[in-house]
Structure 1
């Protein structure tokens, strides 16, 4: 399920796109309206400007023509959809008007400079960044022109008249009206955008599955979403006051109140899982509790960091998840108990079988050696079979005992440094008889510069014997089994390669599982218990090593064991601190002790 915050983010993006169209339309409408105002006022002033020309006053006519041209040009640009250029034209026309007025009036602080000052304001409201920068640069030029005009360096062709001040005031009023209209439109843009955001938040909060509540600084409920009615089976007003706390299980109230206090007073986000009562229409008398995940998020105001904060609660029903976790815990406990019982059974079975098997093997050796008298050849053959079968069962019992010790964590390693190549000859001797039966040749590929290996030599020998016996067992007749050792970084890689039946990907993935055999079932061709590789894997992991397999059906198998050169890491057990029953007295001052000694003598 998607979280509330991701939904809110998506909703804000949608609202920004949907609401973003309307603010842009409002901005464009403001630009077009400004163009109409300029054109209309300039057209209305044109007859008076023409009359002023007949009276030898040129400035009104020039200003009216600037307004007419700017109005017509910006209107045409708006009709073509080029609103950016239209807005820029309005800004430049305002600056030109201010320049004309400030040159015509010798006073440095005149209405012309005031009109020019409104141009950057207009650009900041309706234009993009490049036009804003240019407007400020041109304003500097207009200010310089005002200074030159006041010193008489830059003068208007006609003599200054007092009417010019009135004309400047009228033009300034028009420019101020245009800027005020743009500001009003911009305010409408912000209102539309904020309203779109608020509507998006409200829509999302009211329709998400998680319940949302907002608390004031004093702990009073300010808002409850519609989802709370579905979560608690009650109306929203029933959750105000102490309604929410009353629904919390008695044992969980301290955890909730503590988390709320930390969020409200300290501004720390908290999350708790508590049980809360849900009203059900079919069982009004019997309370039903559900597990709810409560996320408490304080609303932090940077300007008021030392006061209490409003808190927003996000409540999510996690009953199903909690029930699944309990079921998984129960299943894990059952599996652990079954594993312990299995290990205990295997250990008991191994110990119970070892004593009679030792007797069977011992008596069969006595029979074959003639200690109890001469036997017929047929009886000797029977005794040899009994001895061979007994030895096989003893090996199985040893594997069972080793496996039970590994699973119980009772297999202790006796590590020491030794040369890994010394393992080859004794291990080859152990599987030599099996290899001769199948005409399998044993080969080794051991470099001379192998480092000393810190490990349990007996465990490493058992690893090699299991790998070699498996390789011989699954090899074809007259094939080769190769034992290789290499240094691989901080490890020694011991690999056994055969050219036997191989395995599929699924079998390779399950290698090392107790009692797993690639060829299972009653029709399997190869005998064995399926414990050899699981013991190899367990012994390798005890050394902080690992077991790897590479195989393909019909092409053979490569089994590799990686063992760390410096041995397994030492795991230090935590020991409790020792508190002395009696503290040693502080040493006395040596001079004082000598004085007391002299007085005693």
Structure 2
């Protein structure tokens, strides 16, 4: 548009000047030096048009045009009195006219050209280069002044018209930008160098029900989760004073969208913010930060779900590896015994095997077979529990009789390990509604673990007492105990506490997992207290009247036991819920 305006005005000026030249020549006849310069100045705008059309350089063309105007005014001034001519005032039109075709460099160059023209007129005046003014020039002076006034009026009107056009364009541009910002789905905010919000678009309302005015100042900062505020401020600082761009993800707490059922309940959102630095002369320090924030709550939930799935897959892989290692270890020893001793018994050439030896080897094979059967039954039980296929029969059970049977079964093993096994039964124990086989398995597993991990001359107490409508069944020992770091892992399949002795004691590590499942099927609770070198107490609380069975294993509540706590009396240790 500037090129077109420049070419049209210069063509018009040049055409008018060249059109009047023949009439002027016919009137004046021979031209003087100053008159010849006027003719040259009138033709120079056409040269400027040619230069612009050829090179596309408006700055060069404008220099030629400004020089033509300055030369034209200087020549007329020389003809009308030199340095004292009022026409020199027209030199101010040179930089004024430059405002329409460029920026400050154009005005600066035009001012320099006007100054050179004025200086040249003054110097030539002092050298006596100008003759006395012609008589006709005094009569033309009012015309020149009127032309100057009309020119100044045209410049002023043109400048005001251009300013109005720019203002209308700016308003239209601002309206388009505001419309775009208000309809974009992302939250756009404008911050000063200190992080305060100067502007927020209407997406704040659609995003989370917050009014854009509520986010101004520290409104947005106060809605950022307190743990994520340092990250939020660091991103703004990095954008304002660092590389010019920064990204951060943080949690926010907004009021809900309008129309929600819970109108006053807050809603938490994950936002991804991209901050960019811009230069703003109106802002403090001349720097502002524009932030575009997008709701990534759904994406964050998906990523967390994917991370949980990955963690569960890794855990399943670890459990599988631990399962293979544990089961292979538990099966290898009895299988070796069965194979070895059965080969010895089947070999008739071994005449040194008498009847007593054969009976001893047969018992070893029988015991190894039962051990294998126990391992397989335990694996089947834990598989049924975890798959939800395990069912129980609920019938009235004499819990005291079950405790006596379990102690009788474990007595020989406790005696072989030189461990004292005691039984404490509370008075007036009512019948418990549950599965006799499952509760017996719970007691045997707990007693078996206690015997396994209790050293020589240790003590084990099985206590059964009533506590209101609940039965407290506990097994306490003076064994090696469990470290505090291992307590949260108890009940996980194939886990045995204490890595330094995990293979020093036989077992699959599934006993407590089975107990968890069976207690959960009875609607009970499971608590474990323990400390290294002090011992362990496992407490099971069962409802007397029974409840609806749960398909999930019960959660184990664990406590680190006090160092001086022991089993000084036969009274069972009570755990306050």
Establish whether TM, by shorter chain, passes 0.5: no
Between Structure 1 and Structure 2, whose CA radius of gyration is higher?
A: 2
Q: TM-score of the superposition, structure 2-length normalised?
A: 0.41
Q: TM-score of the superposition, structure 1-length normalised?
A: 0.40
